[in-house]
Amino acid sequence: MTNTLYCFGESGNAYKAALALELAGVHWTPRFVDFFKGEARSAEFKAINPMGEVPVLDADGTILTQSGVIQDWVMETTGKLGGGHPELRREILRWTIFDNQKVSGMAGPLRFMMNFLPEEKRNADVNGFMAGRLKAALAVLEGELSERDWLVGDALTCADISCAGYLFYEEPFTFARADYPAIDAWLTRISDTPGWKHPYDLMQRALA
């Protein structure tokens, strides 16, 4: 079986998919997408994913898009990272949706605006709004992780991988681990998991 993940290192959403594949022991191959040179918006790429974005998993001919869908495929296919019970899978879905809307949904564009967008196109008011929304979402995570080691159940699941996806990047986007001791300890638990890799060690970077 051939599993090809269309991705690039700077994408936190691609990282969620790549890390889930890696930690679940799925054999996969990264296929670099040169996002900053417009490859994801090319006709060739949109023939694979009309949404024009990564990640995309070609699972032996079955095309899966969106990190949460790929993570769900990983849980279903391998029986790993899913908590082991149907009710926990629903909790994982709950945190995945929360992440997509509140954590990655703010951290992703904020990090892009602060680091990858030309300075003359950066908008301080927009960045300030997103930073405020991200801070509120991180406060929710901090509260939850002050009471438990993992977001769902008693072991690492895709809920953790999803919510942590952008928080391992060093580029500034108003998040500092020292400001969130419970999140900091949680990120350490994740990175101490056998097989864990930093996004830039899993996927090729688009920018030097």
The predicted-structure confidence for 24-74, as pLDDT tens digits, reads as follows: 999 999 999 999 999 999 999 999 999 999 999 999 999 999 999 999 999
Reduced to 3 DSSP states, what percent helix, strand and coil does the chain have, rounded to the nearest 5?
55, 10, 35
- On whether residue 63 sits in a domain, the answer given is yes
Phi, psi (deg, nearest 5) at residue 112: -60, -50
Q: Indicate whether 109 and 185 sit together in one domain.
A: yes
Please enumerate in sequence order all residues whose Cβ is within 8 A of that of 167, keeping only pairs 6 or more positions apart, or say none.
107, 175, 177, 183, 187
Give domain status of residue 22, yes or no.
Answer: yes
Whether 207 is covered by a domain: the verdict is no
3-state secondary structure of 65: strand
Q: Are 175 and 99 contained in the same domain?
A: yes
Residue 208: inside a domain: no
> Per-residue confidence at 1, pLDDT binned at 50, 70, 90?
confident
- CA separation (Å) from 62 to 46, 65, 180? 15, 10, 40
Q: Do 129 and 40 fall into the same domain?
A: no
Same domain, 72 and 137: no
Cross-strand pairs, 30: 5
Do 91 and 154 reside in the same domain of the chain?
A: yes
Using DSSP's 3-state secondary structure scheme, residue 66 falls into coil
What's the predicted TM-score (pTM) here? 0.97
Are 30 and 70 contacting, i.e. CB atoms less than 8 angstroms apart? no
d(CA 69, CA 201): 23
Domain annotation covers residue 144 = yes
Q: Work out the pLDDT band at 208, boundaries 50, 70, 90.
A: confident
Residue 94 lies in a domain: yes
φ, ψ for residue 23 (rounded to 5)?
A: -70, -25
**Boundaries of domain holding 12:** 3-81+196-202
Same domain, yes or no, for 91 and 185?
A: yes
Structural domains of the chain, count: 2
| Residue 101 within a domain | yes
pLDDT for the residue 12: 98
The CATH number for 165's domain is: 1.20.1050.10
Are 35 and 91 within one domain? no
Cβ-based neighbours of 173, under 8 Å, separated by 6 or more: 107, 110, 111, 114, 115, 131, 134, 166
Same domain as 172, residue 91? yes
Residues 128 and 58 in one domain: no
pLDDT at 72: 98
Q: CA 182: distance to chain centroid?
A: 19
* Same domain, residue pair 24 and 42: yes
Residues 75 and 148 in one domain: no
Long-range contacts of 34-41 (CB under 8 A, 24+ apart): 34/8, 34/206, 35/8, 35/10, 35/11, 35/206, 36/116, 36/206, 36/207, 37/206
Residue 34 lies in a domain: yes
Q: Are residues 112 and 185 in the same domain?
A: yes
